[in-house]
Every structure is written in structure tokens, then in C-alpha cells.
Structure 1
Amino acid sequence: MLRGKLNALRGLIRDKEASALILTNPRNMGYLLGYEDGILAYLDDSTVKVVVPLLDYVRAMELIGGDAEVLAYSGYKLPVEGNFIFGSDELTRLVSSWVRQGSGVVIDDPNNQLVGKVLNAANAKPINASGDIQGIRSVKLPEELELIKGAIDITLKVLDELYGMRLVGIRERDVAAYIYQGLIRHGGDELAFNPIVGSGPNGAKPHHTHSDRIIGEGETVVIDIGARYRLYCADVTRTLTTGGIEGKLKDAYEAVVEASRSAIRAIKPGVKASDVDAEARRVINEYGFSWGFIHSLGHGVGVEVHEKPLLGPGSSDVLRAGNVVTIEPGIYIKGVGGIRVENMVLVTEGGAEVLTRDKYAYV
């Protein structure tokens, strides 16, 4: 997996007519190395080096292995044996010695003070390419897809357990606690985000988390959860019902399901992300709920739970084979409840592959 990522990033260095690349964004370092807690990662046409905190040196070595030269840093001198870097001045001198004097260097954070000092010391020109790196990350390698599928598998296992539970009489907070425990128990390293358990009127708040509200009969429960597995994220929403729903809520559920299916059918390489959003919006408008769909249709998922491409009305992104995106139309009725169904979809050469199939995916 590292080879493909190195090729892409070294291609970026060449495209920018630079001599090297310095990463300080944790997610970008995680993307490249499978380790995101470093101080910086340095890449040129022949070497990969990463500076990590001394206290995390052993773990970093285990995670990175032989894929890069790992150097340990402490902000102050310690009585330890080994070839370690002590103090910011020594770190600046060392990293600047790697940089070709007077050259351009690709960076991912123009506000990073350490990188600024390094480039000044080397009389080098910063070339901010954070957007380009996000674009590279948006197209997943096969090995990345396997890790995403691992995160999805963990997430769907927890959802399947929830499908078999009687939720009436339980606090949203207690369901959220079960989700936390379940995502870790089934193999997640952490949660991709704070889980949402929105019952009844709380479901009409798209970014509600959870509360002491007790789930009642005959209402919807919006559950939005995702595991993070070996740095890669899942993001899945299901809307459960506690008994029959009628009226606007029932119509809204039908609209969301149809909008999701129609949007997924519209996905293929070369399609504007905004056009996929527009297709979902068209269906919801036909049901008379244009006022209730108050967010974008979806987003990319990878080492971050929200990344490129953005599927929304104002997006300039174009779908590419290898993108993994969410399709999550929703309708929110204030004081009553919400409906959202979110699936993760792989953009393939021939169209779309739904990665999050289960009985409540409705695809």
C-alpha cells in the first residue's frame, strides 16, 4: 500500500517542481504511514523520514516498521541512550539539512511554525498543496478499501445487534453507551465520531448526539454511527421505528428511501457530485419535502470521516473511480422526528457499489 501512496505523493512533488514534501497534518501522515501521531514526515525522491515524540518511539516503530526512517524527538534533554533529537533548535537544523537549499517544498499546513523555521533555514519556498493531497487521498487503493470494509463490518455488527433490541423505555444515552462498547468490542480501534441517537423530536436535529430522553412508542430513532479501524472510518445511518409511523413521517421515510436509491443510480465516474445531490433533491421535492432536506447529500470517507469529494449543491468536485462516498438524504420535521438513511458507496468504473448493505439499507 505504501508504494502506491509514495508514487502519488512523489508525482505531486514533480508536478509542483519541488524537491521534497513535508507533512504535518496528522491525517495526512496517517494516510501515508499508518501512523498519525508524528511531528512531521519528510519525503523526497529517495527517502521517507518521520519525526515522532520520544515517548511514542516504540509504538511508532511497530506501526511504521521499515517503511520509513523513524527519528525520536524530545523538547528537552533526557538521560536516555540512543540517537535522539533534543530541543527545537536541533530539530530545525536537522530537518533543514534534508532540504535542498533554495528549492521549493510541498507542504500541507502553511501555518505550521516548525515548517516555517525549517524552510527559512534552508532558504526554501513553501508550496501549499493541502487541496492536492486531499484529492490524492480521495481515490482509494485496494488495500485502503479493505480497511474501510473492516470498519464497515464492525459498524454493521453493532447495528445488527441494535435491530434486535427493544428500544422503547431506554434512554438515548444508554443506547449510545452500548454503541461505544460494541464498536470497540467488535474490533474498532476508536469511534470515527460521536454517535447520534436521535429519538422522536430529537431526530429532527441532524447533529443531535444523545440525551436523557427516553425512547417512546410509535416514533423514529435516527442512529448514526461509525467505527475507526486502523485509521480508516465508517459512517452509517439507519432510521429505526418503534412501532408504526403514519402521516408525514411515513411519507418522509418513503421519500428518503427513493431519493437514496435514485442518487446511487446516478453515480459513475465523471459525474458532477452536485448532480448526484440534485437527483436526490429532485425526488424529495416531488414528495413535497424540499423544506426538510437541509444538508448536503454526502461526502467522501477515508482516514477522516469527512473528506473529498463533497456531494452538495455548491460542490465543484467530480466523481472518480475509487472514491468512497456517503449517500445520506434526510428529512427533518421539527417537533416530530427525522428520517435519514446513510450508505457508503464505492464509485466503480461501471457505476456504484453499495458497501453497507443490510436490511435497513434500502438499496
Structure 2
Amino acid sequence: MINYLQRGFEQSEFEERTARAQKVMHNMKLDAMFFTTEPNVRYFTGFHTQFWKSPTRPWFIVIPAEGKPIAVVPEIGTSGMAETWVDDIITWPSPRPEDDGISLVADTLNMLPNRYGRVGATLGIESHLRMPINNYLQLTEKVNKEFVDISLAVHELRQIKSQAEIEKTREVCRITNFGFNKLPSYARVGMTEREICKQLRIDMLQEGADECPYIIAGSGYDGYDSIIMGPTDRAIEDGDVLIIDTGAARDGYFSDFDRNWAFGHASEQTKAAYRATYEATTKGFEAARPGATTTDIYNAMWGVLEANGALGNDVGRLGHGLGIELTERPSITATDNSVLKAGMIMTLEPGMVYAPGKSMVHEENIVITEDGAEWLSVRAEPELIIIK
């Protein structure tokens, strides 16, 4: 029996990911894929280190049209990369600003069979190159192949999660639910947003999270406006509504959902807004099934919010993909129209402005299954919790 809570993945997981990427390469007529960012390097190799926090050294992975990935990494990372399934590890004594691995990457790409003369790199939507642009331009001059954008193709590869990935997400959602469930036992009028969020982080870490890099909060009397700037040192007062949205991580996989609480009392208008976002989440869940689209989910949720007097939604979308990054493609919008497939992990995040300067946002995490969807987070209470 597979222990999904075990750290890392079996080698077969990386073999399958690489094989899928190579199928894409065949369809797109590519000789190789070239990766520079932590999520993509980790996805194809399993190389998982906090050293990515340092901007000094670049890291490169080349996936050829056939065979295993090739790592071109600073010498300091040799032993760590050797612990992965990658055999071919090329190194240099970085930092070396005059040629920080660029010639080695160019040689690696030039030595590959030149069937199509094209190399894929993440150059487009919701992606970036974690290397100086001047170095990238030098690389394109040194390599006898055309560089083309594969960002959408890579997003689509990573959207379909394996069972192991799903279980890792389920576990970090459990940890996040644990932290949220403890909050009413200590959060009180007079505490600041920052103090409450600090205790939430402690509880999630003690329950098994590796890190809690994303904890935002917003509060205000009988409603909140901004949901991305906190937590702040604002003290909670009687009659306030508090939202906390958090993404905890365990073994490289994120949760991302929020909870709302009122302190002392809340108006019927605010309670009704909470019920509306809760009902919208239900309708979004019911619409989430293979063959449907992200826009179908959006319409199902926005229809509820609009019917309940929504003045607008300043978040820009009503959910998104989730995985080894806190937010991944696709987005749940009126125009996204991405087709849902089994294995996609999504957030449902209906939000509405229900009065001038007052918003209500609710979020849960789900996975698309063969015949519908399944909750990964344990749903919030259907009524706004009031902390006395």
C-alpha cells in the first residue's frame, strides 16, 4: 500500500511526468524543454531546497526529446541533485558573473539531436525566467535552435495531478482546517490581526505544515474592504468582521482557502452576504465536473452572488488552480473557458462587494474527479461564526 504522506515521490512519478512532457515535445516539434524556475525544476526532478530564496545562483534543467532530464547546476547543489533521479549533472563554480552556466547550458542543448531546431522555454503567461535577461539573450545566441514559448503547455501538464499530489494537497488542507478550527478558542476583541495570524501560523506549523508563507487578513466594523494588505497591527473591536486567507505548504504542496468570523455581533446584511458566498460555493462545486469549463463554474457562482445583490467583485476572478504554487492556471473567470479534467485541483473563491466598502469572500479547495468533484478542505460552517 502506498503511503501518500511519505515525503517526496516514487521515481515512477517523475518518469511519468517526463514522458508526458516528451509527448508534448513531439506534438510541438521540440528538441528539448528548458526550465529555470523552482516549481518546474522540482516538478521534473524532485530537487527541493530552500536555496531558491537566494537570487545569486541560477539553476537549469534540460529535458531532451528522449531520455532523462539533464541538470546544469552550481557546484553547491551537486549533492542535492544527486539525491534525485537525475543522473546527468553538469556543474560550475557559481557565482561566476562572466559566464554563470550559460555556456554549459548552450553546449548541452547544442549536443542534442537537431531534429526540429526548436527549444521550449516558459516565456509567456503566468511564467517567468529566473535568470538575467542578458544571460537569456546570450543563450539564444549561443544555441543553434529557436526558442519558443511553452508556458501554456507546461501549465496544462502540471494541472493534472497524480493521486500522490492530490493526497499531499489533502493533507495540507487538513492542517489548515486544524488551524482555522482552533482560532475561535483564542481570538478575542483587543487582539491585533497580526497576533491572531501569528497564533494561526504556530498552530499549523505544530500540526505538520513546513511553512505558512501566505497569511493575509482584513478586518473592519461589520465588514472588510481590503483582503490583501494585512495582517496589520489593527486591534479587533466589537462588531468587527475578520477574514484570514492562508496558504500553508507541506512537502511542496499548498492549501489556499479562507475563513470569516464576526466578533460580538454582525448585521443581518453581513450574515446574508456570508450565506450568499456559501451558497455560491455550493453551486460552483456542483458545476465542477469533467467536460465543464471554468466559465461554467464562474457563471454558477456569479449567478448566486448577483441574485443576492452583489455590487461587483474586485478580486478579478472566482477561483484558480492550486498545486506546487499557491495559485496556478486556470482562472475561474467569465471568459477563461478552460475545460475541466479529472485530477485538476481548484479553489472555489466567490467574492462580492455587498455594500460600499464592504466585501465578503469565501474559499474552499476541491479536486475534479471522474464523475464530479471532491472537497479537499473541510467546508466552513454555513452560517457566519460569531466569536463572543
Q: TM-score range by the shorter chain?
A: 0.7 to 0.9
Bigger mean CA deviation after superposition, 96-105 or 274-283: 96-105
State the AA in 2 paired with 1:100: P
Q: 1:342–1:361: 8 Å Cα contact kept in structure 2? A: no
* Equivalent of 2:112 in 91, 99, 104: 99
Q: Deviations over 1:84-140 (max 9, x none)?
A: xx8546524542443334722222238655455445334112121111101111111
Relative to 1, partners in 2 of residues 1:147 and 1:69: Cα closer, same or farther, differing over 3 Å? farther
Q: 1:345–1:356: 8 Å Cα contact kept in structure 2? A: yes
Q: Deviations over 1:29-81 (max 9, x none)?
A: 1222222646111111013111222223333334x2x344333332368xxxx
Relative to 1, partners in 2 of residues 1:347 and 1:29: Cα closer, same or farther, differing over 3 Å? same
Q: Deviation of residue 309 (structure 1)?
A: 1.5
Aligned sequence identity (%): 22
Task: Tell me whether 1:311 sits opposite 2:321 in the alignment.
Answer: no
Q: Deviation of residue 283 (structure 1)?
A: 0.8
State the AA in 2 paired with 1:174: E
Relative to 1, partners in 2 of residues 1:299 and 1:15: Cα closer, same or farther, differing over 3 Å? same
- Indicate the residue corresponding to 1:230 in structure 2: 251
- Alignment TM-score, normalising by the size of structure 2: 0.82
State the AA in 2 paired with 1:284: L
Relative to 1, partners in 2 of residues 1:334 and 1:175: Cα closer, same or farther, differing over 3 Å? farther
Relative to 1, partners in 2 of residues 1:286 and 1:335: Cα closer, same or farther, differing over 3 Å? closer
State the AA in 2 paired with 1:70: I
Q: Deviations over 1:319-341 (max 9, x none)?
A: 11111111111234567654222
Tell me the distance in 2 between the aligned counterparts of 1:356 and 1:127: 38
Relative to 1, partners in 2 of residues 1:291 and 1:104: Cα closer, same or farther, differing over 3 Å? closer
Runs ≥4 residues deviating over 6 A: none
- Indicate the residue corresponding to 1:31 in structure 2: 43
Relative to 1, partners in 2 of residues 1:306 and 1:142: Cα closer, same or farther, differing over 3 Å? same
Q: Deviation of residue 13 (structure 1)?
A: 1.0
Tell me the distance in 1 between the aligned counterparts of 2:381 and 2:74: 44
Q: Deviation of residue 157 (structure 1)?
A: 1.9
- Indicate the residue corresponding to 1:261 in structure 2: 282
- Indicate the residue corresponding to 2:263 in structure 1: 242
Tell me the distance in 1 between the aligned counterparts of 2:313 and 2:137: 46
Q: Deviation of residue 211 (structure 1)?
A: 1.0
Q: 2:47–2:80: 8 Å Cα contact kept in structure 1? A: no
Q: 2:18–2:68: 8 Å Cα contact kept in structure 1? A: no
Tell me the distance in 2 between the aligned counterparts of 1:96 and 1:263: 45
Q: 2:212–2:248: 8 Å Cα contact kept in structure 1? A: yes
Q: Deviations over 1:227-276 (max 9, x none)?
A: 12222111011111223312321111111111111111111111121121
Tell me the distance in 1 between the aligned counterparts of 2:168 and 2:229: 28
Relative to 1, partners in 2 of residues 1:273 and 1:96: Cα closer, same or farther, differing over 3 Å? closer
Which stretches in structure 2 are left out of the alignment for 5+ residues? 1-12, 53-57, 384-388
Tell me the distance in 1 between the aligned counterparts of 2:135 and 2:187: 53
1:128-139 alignment, distance < 5 Å:
128-139=149-160
DSSP 3-state at the match of 2:305: helix
Bigger mean CA deviation after superposition, 195-204 or 151-160: 195-204
- Indicate the residue corresponding to 1:81 in structure 2: none
State the AA in 1 paired with 2:212: L
Relative to 1, partners in 2 of residues 1:177 and 1:273: Cα closer, same or farther, differing over 3 Å? same
Q: 1:25–1:108: 8 Å Cα contact kept in structure 2? A: no
State the AA in 2 paired with 1:108: T
Q: 1:167–1:215: 8 Å Cα contact kept in structure 2? A: yes
- Alignment TM-score, normalising by the size of structure 1: 0.87
Q: How many aligned positions are there? A: 351
Q: 1:324–1:344: 8 Å Cα contact kept in structure 2? A: yes
Which stretches in structure 1 are left out of the alignment for 5+ residues? 78-85
Relative to 1, partners in 2 of residues 1:346 and 1:88: Cα closer, same or farther, differing over 3 Å? closer
Bigger mean CA deviation after superposition, 303-312 or 243-252: 243-252
- Indicate the residue corresponding to 2:55 in structure 1: none
DSSP 3-state at the match of 1:291: coil
- Indicate the residue corresponding to 1:14 in structure 2: 26
Q: Deviations over 1:287-342 (max 9, x none)?
A: 11243565311000011111112101121312111111111112345676542221
- Indicate the residue corresponding to 1:3 in structure 2: 15
Task: Tell me whether 1:52 sits opposite 2:73 in the alignment.
Answer: yes
* Equivalent of 2:63 in 43, 56, 59: 43
